[in-house]
Chains A and B, each alone.
Chain A
Amino acid sequence: MSDEYENKSGYQAQSSEALTGSAGSTPDMDYVRPAELPEQDLYHGHTFITKWVFCQDAKVIGVQYFLTAVFTGVVGLILSWLMRLQLGFPGLAGFITAEHYYQFVTMHGMIMVVYFLTALFLGGFGNYLIPLMVGARDMVFPYVNMLSFWMFFVAVAVLMASFFVPGGPTGAGWTLYPPQTILEGTPGSGMGILLMLISLALFVIGFTMGGLNYMITVLQARTRGMTLMRMPLTVWGIFTATVLAMLAFPALLVSAIMMTLDKVIGTSFFMPTILKAGEVLEYGGGSPILFQHLFWFFGHPEVYIVALPAFGIVSDLISVHARKNIFGYRMMVWAIVGIGALSFFVWAHHMYVSGMNPWFGFFFATTTLIIAVPTAMKVYNWILTLWRGNIRINTVMLWCLGFIVTFVNGGITGIFLGNVSVDVPLSDTYFVVAHFHMVMGIAPVMVIMGAVYHWFPLITGRFLNETLGKWHFWTTFLGAYSIYFPMHYLGFIGVPRRYYEMYDSPYMTSAVGMNEFISTAAFLVGAAQFFLIFNVIKTLKTGERAPKNPWKANSLEWHTSTQPPEHGNFGERLPVVHRWPYDFSVPGAKDDFIPQTTPPSEVAHTKVEKT
């Protein structure tokens, strides 16, 4: 066996090396308290399998998560094409029956929310960035981290397998509302739904292993000097989202288990007395609304599990490329934490017209609109970061600007839907579809794309092509906006969602032209993603090599011993942190950035306000 454990405890610095450093600086200024714990031992793989397949390096695991999630995302994208084909040009593709359509809707929704966005932000960016950004050599439990990815991989495999079982995948809608989910009359109510529930359970188990890692790494493995209030907002976003996920996913797990029992052994957790085809079924006494409470107790925090990492990442991208500190850092941190906490008190705003006690509406409308306040503060702080900045209008910044436009748009329509009585006419219409795609589909995807262009040089050592990047951005942004902005108005007409065909209802026929337009735009936006694929292939072959720290950023991931960072991240010595990551354009400083590792003595003459 080529197992080899390195003991790095010899490198432990017992006190700040800078104490004995240059004369002229105040002696205790650069002091950072000694590390209490010896450094972690890392398992270094040597074979192809241990290095690239069953790998314990969080960076490789991050890339594995990223690529698997992107694969599911492509499947989700193709499903959306098929749906739009049916909606825009009904009958054109004769093979799309109503059963198929509902299966596409369901699988698209579940894939995009859970297997694409959640896995990509937490599993992908979380794994790659957390250890690098907090100055750790790896996640605290590398082996569990590896298991986490492979559990996710199995979950995806089970999910994809459901396309090939008799009856096909479940067509119950991604919310899987019982009783219809497990009754005939819904496509895939046999094997399809079982595989979906099993896959979700596996996902939650896998995610729990990863989530423990992200949380404990952030809490326990930060390098010396990296206080919580010096962490990049990316880490704050991913960390808070992980805490939310750890609290929210159990609700999904139990509801999946209970529903499996209802399906397989005939319990009645969610099943009341049901009359089906003239026969009274063997169920009785269960509550369909209980499932909805459990589902949305998971489902609403889930929105923020996707949104908070996006908030964090976009804050860092904006700050770096505007060459300006993020405005109101402490406010941003508390907004992330506050939104995270509040997100557990708003779930029933998905259920205003579900038949729950209508008096709940007052409470949940109030909490929902309260959450708008910290969210709005974050938006203000992003644009105030741009204000009086020195903004590089590159591809990364364009994605950030696109994020602001789509996020504010989607956030505002959220105020319509959260405001209980306004929700009554709009719920279950295309207004809802437009709202959540804008706010938790397009906006986070904008951030993902920005992050890909931003961190690509770190991961591969090469720049993505800017011209292709700009084409990619504008086609995606303009296309996506012209899909979802007009779609709100379909909701005003009253067109309900999840309709396989509109028929010729008087107020719906006027929407035929718009549906054709939206479908065409959807085909183009999907196709525009080939710009990125082409760009990646081209860059890997002939792309311009990136120098070290090409964006002149301050956070630790750009200050590793090598670029791309090797296993263990920081060479012999872990970095020591002296400041927050947003010291851009500090008056008096030589460069327009001061890395987090720069001790105060080196920049003593500058007017640094915050460390």
Chain B
Amino acid sequence: MHAGIIFFLVILGSILFHIFTPWYWTDIASNWKGMDDTITLTFWVGGGVFIAVCLFMIYCVFKYSYKEDRKAEYKPEDKKLEKILTVATTLGVAALLAPGLIIWNQYVNVPKNSIEIDVMAWQWGWQYRLPGKDGKLGTTKVVNINDDNPFGINLDDPYGRDDVMVQSDIINLENNRPVKILLRSVDVLHNWYVPQFRAKMDAVPGVVTFYWFEPNKVGEYEVLCAEYCGVGHYAMRGGVEVQDPNSYQEWLEEQETFSDLLAKQNKEIETKNFAKNNSNIEKVIYKEEK
């Protein structure tokens, strides 16, 4: 008896917790409301099954507790009942699967008008690259990466010259414009995840992965690494600022392009050459000390 009551309270408590919980979704800020809706649907169907199964179990505990003089029913099989249950379960599962697959189909098909963003991850940080006026990102190689070429852009790729480089862990996005996140990593697995956008995908060294979303709420969001990447994983945060188109354009124009950077470096190289004679003297002194 007590057992049945406690189990009942557990189920009741679960339902009440679900209704009154202060811990639930962070407000959505992207187009992926369909994911939330599928979760809600799954909650109704799955939660209903959970409650029904548990209540039936509790009913059995109350009704059929051991009595010396009672004999249990002897009925090894009931083909009809088993068939009904199989068909009903299959239908229920199919009803949940269908919306899941439809949304996945949207998830893997990126809209044509989306802007591509190269998200580069390493232990432990992020930086971003946007296509320049030509609308295309230049190709990259891990071995090209150095201080003068922080994104490893192939120097002979004409598309790469005008790429906009955001050497910061915060990226700005234009509101209501789909973005295709192109993920790459130079060392281990990472995952660029903003809870409010719902979407995520691992960054895998050696390949470029992608996903897309359309931010639809102006504001600042935190980026979390969602794939374990070593001891600094928990501290690998970044930021996103979703802006209206005007402020976004303003921000974009302030950013440096790859050719800007190259020009700056050429200047620096000249200065360096100029200063070489001086530094040679220092080096000699250093060697002697060693």
Contacts and interface: CB of A to CB of B under 8 A. Distances in A.
Interface of A: 98-99, 102, 171-173, 177, 179-180, 183, 185-187, 272-276, 278, 280, 285-289, 322-325, 327-331, 353-355, 358-359, 361-362, 365-366, 369-370, 372-373, 376-377, 379-380, 383-384, 386-393, 398, 401, 404-405, 408-409, 412-413, 415-416, 419-422, 424-429, 474, 478, 481, 485-486, 489-490, 492-494, 496, 498-503, 505-507, 510-511, 514, 582, 584-587, 592, 607, 609-610
Contacts of A609: 74-76
Interface in B139-158: 142-143, 145-146
A500 B145 contact: no
Contacts of B10: 405, 478, 481
Nearest to B14: A485
A302 B32 CA distance: 33
Interface in B184-207: 186-189, 191, 193, 195-196, 198-207
27 contacts: A102-B228, A177-B228, A274-B186, A274-B188, A274-B205, A275-B142, A287-B206, A322-B72, A324-B74, A328-B76, A353-B201, A353-B202, A354-B204, A355-B201, A358-B104, A365-B104, A383-B53, A383-B60, A391-B64, A401-B7, A405-B57, A419-B38, A420-B104, A422-B100, A425-B35, A425-B199, A426-B39
Given A369-B94, A421-B107, A609-B76, 11 more contacts: A177-B188, A185-B123, A272-B207, A322-B64, A362-B105, A421-B38, A427-B200, A485-B17, A486-B23, A492-B25, A493-B25
Which 4 pairs across A and B sit closest by C-beta, in order of nearness?
Answer: A494-B195, A272-B206, A419-B100, A180-B188
Contacts of B268: none
B103 A421 contact: yes
B89 to A, nearest CB: 5
A491 to B, nearest CB: 10
A532 B60 CA distance: 28
B125 to A, nearest CB: 12
Q: Which of B6, B60, B96, B143 has the most CB of A within 10 A?
A: B60
B216 interface: no
A422 B231 contact: no
A177 B189 contact: yes
A422 B42 contact: yes
B64 A390 contact: yes
A428 B191 contact: yes
Contacts of B191: 353, 428
B233 A498 contact: yes
Nearest to B196: A494
Interface string B42-85: 10001101100110110011001111001111111110011001
Q: Which range holds the interface residue count of chain B?
A: 35 or more
A273 B142 contact: yes
B65 A393 contact: yes
B22 A510 contact: yes
Contact of A409 (B50, B90, B94, B205): B50
B286 interface: no
B111 interface: no
B12 interface: no
A329 B82 CA distance: 11
A372 B187 CA distance: 37
Contacts of A398: 3
A185 B230 contact: yes
Contacts of A276: 123, 187
A456 B2 CA distance: 25
B137 interface: no
B53 A408 contact: yes
B263 interface: no
Nearest to A387: B60
B39 to A, nearest CB: 6
B232 interface: yes
A353 B206 contact: no
B72 A388 contact: yes
Given A177-B228, A180-B228, A393-B66, A421 B71 contact: no
Nearest to B90: A373
B64 A386 contact: yes
Contacts of A285: 206
B42 A365 contact: no
A520 B21 CA distance: 19
Given A412-B47, A420-B101, A428-B191, A183 B230 contact: yes
Contacts of B196: 494
B251 interface: no
B26 interface: yes
A290 B101 CA distance: 25
Nearest to A587: B74
